[in-house]
Amino acid sequence: MPDATFVPTHPPASDRVESDVVRDMKLRHVVESQQFTVPMLMDLFNRSRGMERVVARGGTLDYQNRIMATLFYQPSTRTRFSFEAAMHRLGGRVLSTEHARSFSSEIEAEQVEDSIRIIGSYSDVIVIRHHEEGGAWRAARVSPVPVINAGDGNGGQHPTQALLDMYTIYRERPLDGLSVAIIGELDKGRTARSLAYLLAKFERVKIFFVSPPELQMKPDILEYLDEHGVHYQLESEIERVIGEVDVVYQTRIRPERVTDARGLGRFAINSAVLRKMKSDAMILHPLPRTVELDKTVDDDPRALYFRQAVNGLYVRMALLTMLLDKD
């Protein structure tokens, strides 16, 4: 049985994990990005740098007897491959599900708790993407091995995406004093939500949430930012902020979710927008993209979204070692 004190409590999201007790604690599960303290992030980023070197010299590490299970109730080939490649680059082994919703031919609504207990007997770490918000938390609560949230629900979190986003920024410039525009369908944006929690850990950060009003960031995040004294602003015009931000974090907007889809062009990144950006800005996108990020942007040196994908490999390798290493 897992030790409940190591498990983040959810919902509601809370800061408990940032208390002194937790700060020095070994990382046990990765459920929400706000679990991470700045020292933990720095440890993770240092390890990630080391992983860049491991991959560059074509080696693997010493995890050949460790098994990672990926349990994807929603298919996501990119995220699954990123985790599986990370485990392979560590020398480890993988049990894989492409689409676990059809978990059993017999019982449709098998409880995730039973599945996790059993899969936890076969593996050393479980990566779960669940279609319901809180699914990863339910898994972590009963799992005998570490659980990593690879996305839960529509309005949940995707903490490892935010970790690799932060690492990508960190590789370019200091994280204190950043000015960031987070653009897109923010109310249901798992990656935008997880990123906002992480940005709030750093000093003098300013966040612009740019979105059609009906899809703006939800109050729980805004309250969290208020409590932590983080400066933020709600915007519905990319034009008004594009010239002053260090980071443009673009995410998709599904046309069917806005009241007037004709105005969606106002949120897209294209060569006209590029011209207004700071020369040393960074453009990030968690991908996949639709029309909100034009392919003409790909060759701009400020476009870092394919670099993000590579960094995802390093950060996930580093995270797996933090979870798998015996104290």
110 binds its own copies (CB under 8 A): yes
Nearer to its own copies, 37 or 70 (CB): 70
Give the alpha-carbon dihedral of 67, 125, 200, 23, to 10 degrees: -110
123 binds its own copies (CB under 8 A): yes
How many residues bind its own copies, per CB under 8 A? 52
* Footprint on residues 16-75 left by its own copies (CB under 8 A): 58-60, 64-65, 67, 69, 71, 74-75
171 binds its own copies (CB under 8 A): no
* Footprint on residues 195-234 left by its own copies (CB under 8 A): none
Map tokens 């004709």 to a residue: 262
Residue in 119, 148, 163, 215 binding its own copies, rule: CB under 8 A: 119
Whether 143 contacts 122, CB under 8 Å: no
Greatest alpha-carbon pair distance for the chain in Å reads 57
Q: What tokens appear for 85 in the block?
A: 């490649």
Nearer to its own copies, 19 or 111 (CB): 111
Q: Three-state SS for 95?
A: strand
Nearer to its own copies, 10 or 130 (CB): 130
76 binds its own copies (CB under 8 A): yes
Whether 183 contacts 245, CB under 8 Å: no
Q: Which of 223, 158, 228, 229 is nearest to 195 (CA)?
A: 158
* Footprint on residues 285-324 left by its own copies (CB under 8 A): 287-290, 306, 309-310, 313
Interatomic CA distance for residues 305 and 282, integer angstroms: 9
φ, ψ of residue 150 in degrees (nearest 5):
-105, 30
C-alpha distance from residue 280 to each of 126, 163, 251, 302 (Å): 38, 21, 20, 7
Q: Which of 192, 174, 206 is nearest to 41 (CA)?
A: 174
Q: Shortest Cβ distance from residue 131 to its own copies (Å)? A: 8
77 binds its own copies (CB under 8 A): yes
* Footprint on residues 82-101 left by its own copies (CB under 8 A): 82, 84-85, 88-89, 93, 95-100
Q: Which amino acid is at 291?
A: V
**Footprint on this chain of its own copies (rule: CB under 8 A):** 58-60, 64-65, 67, 69, 71, 74-78, 81-82, 84-85, 88-89, 93, 95-100, 102-107, 110-111, 114-115, 117-119, 121-123, 131, 252, 287-290, 306, 309-310, 313
